[in-house]
Amino acid sequence: MQAKTSAALPQSYVGTRTVRPDGVDKVTGRARFGADFNLPGQLVGRVLRSPHAHARILSIDTSKAERLPGVKAVVTRDDFPDQSSEFIPAGEMMMNYRDVVRNVMAREKALYEGHAVAAVAATSTAVARRALKLIDVQYEVLPHVIDVVDAMKPEAPLLHEDLYTAGVEPKPERPSNIAKRVEIGHGDIEAGFARADVIVEREFSTQPVHQGYIEPHAALASVSEDGAVELWCTTQGHFIVRAHCARLLGLDIGKVRVTASEIGGGFGGKTVVYLEPLAVALSRKAKRPVKLVMSREEVFKASGPTSGARIKVKLGATKAGKFTGAFAELKYQAGAFQGSPVQPGTMCAFAPYDIEHVKVIGYDVVSNRPKVAAYRAPGAPISEFAVESVVDELAKKLEIDPVELRLQNAAREGTKAAYGPKFGPIGLIDTLHAVEKTNHYTTPLEEWQGRGVASGFWFNIGGETCASLTVNEDGTVSLMAGTPDIGGLRASLAMVAADELGVPYDKVRPIIGDTGSVGYNFLTGGSRSAFSGSMAVVEAAKQIKADLCTRAAKLWELAPDQVAFENGHVKPVGDTNGRHKPVSVADLAKVAGKTGGPIGGVGRINAQGAGPSFGTHLVDVEVDPETGRVTILRYTMAQDAGRAIHPSYVEGQYQGGAAQGIGWALNEEYIYGADGKLQNAGFLDYRMPVASDVPMIDAIIVEVPNPRHPYGVRGVGETPIVPPMAAIANAIENATGIRFTELPMSPPKVLKALKERGLNGVKA
């Protein structure tokens, strides 16, 4: 826990376990999250939502609600101008404003149960609730479709009459629920399979799972008479919220100031807007602040889970274990609007392996469910679950150890990835060796216990990022970043700033600036915030160091090249070495007014070179033959971080992703009734892992430096959720001999499979 010291470098915080600067606020209840903001004169907002899975909206009469005393504003589709069709990047997914405007407020049709139809702002919760009841919406209820395979049938109820499958030639004659077909790969898969001695072919299904952040969506908007907008909300990207609100409501971006509250979890689910444009629209009408907070039921019904899917995988190998050909077909639910993560799903499916002949086809399919949102490595956990299950089955057939089979085929530096480019230095092999070397891998198991392994991949992204550093007059440093800190970002950036400027860590105070205080930042997502943010901080520090050198050179009447910045000090170098005592950042800060004014730097970058992160998970399970319950006995995971800035928060990302994967594998799913309504919209029935469901999770940090980052950093946040589902399925197979291909592997499903084989009963 001590900061590392060496003679050359008096301090290096990077790589140590500092206490986060925002920590005290978060353990004392002082930190302000989305719902913790309030303003004088604030109104209570409430949203009216569709009770139907699919219905045409014939009319909306808000007149009675508007007349109710205490109601200050009502908004409907009429308050949001229609948008033209235009696809724009949204995190790691794509979005279309024509769809966004329809998702935030239903237009022609309500497309899922919970779809927003109107919103009110009133002087109290009671009045707001009464007002919702007074809004008269006439629906023509339409047949709905929930399942992805049903939605693809020609006779399926059509969600969008103008949706023609993209990516097929010629253009289909009829509209359908299949928004898009995508294909990636290289080589000739038929030739590949012809060379195989063993082929495994399987079908899989997964259910939609929710990101499950504990903090519901919340937004507080205040629009003044001159049209200036102030907005406080919980989001992964306040600059994205600003852009969306400006676009949807016809506002100048410069007039919209968005402050990101502390964010109570996001995992991709807070990269889109739901309440924010409604709050702004209501406040604009009411000319008073309006606060909207979702209930948990609303979060489940009206915010994005990730896709459920049907997947086919075919993988061939020689007797010696070399993969010869690979094929997969992915059908991903997008929810009510197109834009499932099927594209990254196709690209990630076989990414961990070096395969000459590979092809993956994906379909993006709409159905009457909430529109999916990004969820941690969007798309990858689904396709890689299927592929990693098949790899395990192949290992069993070939009688090769599953880690050895992966090592034989593992992608390494120079491998041409299934999705196109050649990998630079990557750490997959290192993670396989790391788990193989643990005593976990060789500890004997008992009856009904099984062990499974699986690997995973995610790209990671960089992107537009700004961060500023200001050296204050006493030598302390103010750091401003613009990507919400969702799990230790401020600590990581402060450590990098301290190292770069050679100042003590506790003299750097990092904050997350609002959209008016710092330059444009893309959102916190894609495992990019520590990667890109630290690059921006390095750039800002570079400017400061150059400036300080210039100032010192002037003071000493030396040429600029006769001074250098070292260990937090400017000192004379070369011939002049030793002529003056080195001056510290703090010393120069004291005389800033006399040497050129305020000292600061701003990093404005479009970060490139995000290195992919690979991971391998190892899990032991025990299956109870009486109830079908699967218990996670032991969990070890290794992942490449490039360089861990703060090892504890890297481990935390690993462990958290694994736990979410455990929930995805064993319990979590959206359950719909025949009426198209969600039956488990609460934490009691949507069962996320609790502390007693999981063991300690041993997180091994592998460090294969990313050559394109000044400290070697790779993003780490998403890869951890990729391997768990297959690792657990493989472990259950190892325990029972039964290959489960449907998630979640919940007790009823496991018990049924045991019963079918006469394996159930009380454990001896």
Partner 1 sequence: MAKHHVTATVNGDAVEFLCETEETLLDVLRDTLHLTGSKEGCSSGDCGACSVTLDGRLVCSCLVLGCEVAGRSIETIEGMATGETLHPLQQKFLEHAALQCGICTPGFLVASKALLERDPDPTETEIRYWLAGNLCRCTGYDKIIKAVMDAAAEMRTS
Interface contacts to partner 1, rule CB under 8 A: 1, 17, 19-20, 22-24, 26-33, 35-36, 126, 211-216, 262-267, 293, 295-296, 486-488, 646, 648-649, 651-653, 655-660, 682-684, 688-694, 696-697, 699
Contacts of 326 (CB under 8 A, 6+ apart): 189, 192, 313, 314, 315, 316, 349, 350, 353, 355, 357, 358, 359, 360, 387, 418
Q: Is the CB of 146 or the CB of 658 nearer to partner 1?
A: 658
Burial 198-209 (b: 16+ CB within 10 A, else e): ebbebebbbbbb
Please say whether the beta carbons of 186 and 418 come within 8 A: yes
Kind and range of the H or E run holding 66 = helix 63-67
Closest among 404, 376, 390, 386 to 460, alpha carbons compared: 376
Q: Is the CB of 103 or the CB of 655 nearer to partner 1?
A: 655
Q: Is the CB of 628 or the CB of 689 nearer to partner 1?
A: 689
Q: How far is the CB of 129 from partner 1 (least distance, A)?
A: 11
Q: How far is the CB of 287 from partner 1 (least distance, A)?
A: 23
Q: How far is the CB of 67 from partner 1 (least distance, A)?
A: 23
Q: Is the CB of 27 or the CB of 764 nearer to partner 1?
A: 27
Q: How far is the CB of 720 from partner 1 (least distance, A)?
A: 9
Q: How far is the CB of 706 from partner 1 (least distance, A)?
A: 22
Q: How far is the CB of 224 from partner 1 (least distance, A)?
A: 25
Please say whether the beta carbons of 596 and 582 come within 8 A: no
Contacts of 3 (CB under 8 A, 6+ apart): 11, 12, 13, 16, 18, 505
In whole angstroms, what is the distance from residue 23 CA to residue 27 CA?
A: 6
User: Could you tell me how many helices (H) and strands (E) the chain has, helices first?
Assistant: 20, 28
Q: How far is the CB of 652 from partner 1 (least distance, A)?
A: 5
Q: How far is the CB of 495 from partner 1 (least distance, A)?
A: 13
Q: Is the CB of 256 or the CB of 699 nearer to partner 1?
A: 699
Q: How far is the CB of 163 from partner 1 (least distance, A)?
A: 34
Please say whether the beta carbons of 544 and 471 come within 8 A: yes
What does 159-191 look like in DSSP terms, one character per residue? S-TT---BT-SSPPSS--SEEEEEEEEES-HHH
Q: Is the CB of 475 or the CB of 656 nearer to partner 1?
A: 656
Q: Is the CB of 99 or the CB of 215 nearer to partner 1?
A: 215
Q: Is the CB of 165 or the CB of 653 nearer to partner 1?
A: 653
Closest among 500, 505, 624 to 568, alpha carbons compared: 500
Q: How far is the CB of 658 from partner 1 (least distance, A)?
A: 6
Token pair of 429 as six digits: 């092999």
CA angle, residues 491, 497, 498, in degrees to nearest 5: 85
Burial environment of residue 684 by CB neighbours within 10 A (0 to 12, 13 to 18, 19 or more): exposed
* 639 SS3 class: strand
Q: Is the CB of 31 or the CB of 39 nearer to partner 1?
A: 31
Contacts of 167 (CB under 8 A, 6+ apart): 180, 181, 182, 183
Q: Is the CB of 29 or the CB of 444 nearer to partner 1?
A: 29
Q: How far is the CB of 24 from partner 1 (least distance, A)?
A: 7
Q: Is the CB of 657 or the CB of 712 nearer to partner 1?
A: 657
Q: How far is the CB of 667 from partner 1 (least distance, A)?
A: 13
* 685 SS3 class: coil
Closest among 305, 377, 373 to 528, alpha carbons compared: 377
Closest among 397, 342, 402, 463 to 89, alpha carbons compared: 463
Q: Is the CB of 4 or the CB of 581 nearer to partner 1?
A: 4
Contacts of 35 (CB under 8 A, 6+ apart): 215, 216, 218, 234, 291, 293
Please say whether the beta carbons of 138 and 58 come within 8 A: yes
